[in-house]
Structure 1
């Protein structure tokens, strides 16, 4: 006797394999080594970039610029927060989180591969003084998501570099 649930799962697997579905993979970069410069020590954005570059099968981050084929120069890496909405009594009701990265990519010889480029993200977040601790955690979670998004965008731009 054939199990209908098992047949359904096998059929679904066959259909998804036949349609060309693939899980998203890290992009393949054209260079084997990269050096990250210009970031503050223990920068969360630099750590996220390092992690995502390490997930590629083609490229590794080196600690010495002389060992790198290309240099990723993080010119600006800053977080910001501002009040968007207040009540008539002056209580904050909504804040905006900002994350900004400006960078360029060049070879050791100085050939510019990606000119100075800026990526800026903003997220709005409701705020209530009674829930201050929970909102702090939500803020950190949003910053981590924004860092991940910026790192993904950077990786796609690095993958677009065709030649050194």
Structure 2
């Protein structure tokens, strides 16, 4: 056995002994979910739908037939200049994703009061690499969107319906 194999085997043994476990899909305590309040063609709603399709949850259109309803009050994507040169050229942007939502049951019980989810990313900018920076911005926006959906799904996993 090579030294590298022994080191790998040792690392696996150490990690398994300390309780390390890869993140797995969350367990939900309800079966159906409805989405309300998203703007039409919202990229965040599309990502949420895509992730829910990979889970055991069933997405329903009629909120009255859902166990849990996500009510989105506000979804904002924002881009603000953070730093400029003395000539007024922007050298750094801050990208923001804001989502205000609440969770309720079909019976109207509040499961999670209004919650504010805020994500930000800083991005350096250069006019000479404008096209590359445009692609970087799209990539950062997508990453924030995926992270927001992941956070939302983990919060959904913590929801317990009263019997």
Q: Same fold (TM over 0.5)?
A: yes
Which ranges in structure 2 are unaligned for 5 or more consecutive residues? none
Greater Cα offset, 13-22 or 29-38: 13-22
Which ranges in structure 1 are unaligned for 5 or more consecutive residues? none
SS of residue matched to 1:42: coil
1:123 to 118, 121, 125: 121
Query: How far did residue 107 of structure 1 move?
Result: 1.1
2:34 maps to 35
CA contact (8 A) 1:28 1:56 kept: no
The within-5 A match list for 1:142-153 is: 142-153=140-151
CA contact (8 A) 1:26 1:55 kept: no
1:157 to 152, 155, 158: 155
Partner Cα distance (1:104, 1:33) in 2: 16
1:104 to 102, 105, 108: 102
Alignment root-mean-square deviation, CA: 2.1
Q: 1:83 to 1:10 in 2, by over 3 A?
A: closer
1:135 maps to 133
Structure-2-length-normalised TM-score: 0.87
Partner Cα distance (2:4, 2:82) in 1: 53
Partner Cα distance (2:22, 2:51) in 1: 16
The count of aligned residue pairs is 161
Q: 1:61 to 1:91 in 2, by over 3 A?
A: same
Partner Cα distance (2:8, 2:117) in 1: 43
1:79 to 77, 80, 93: 77
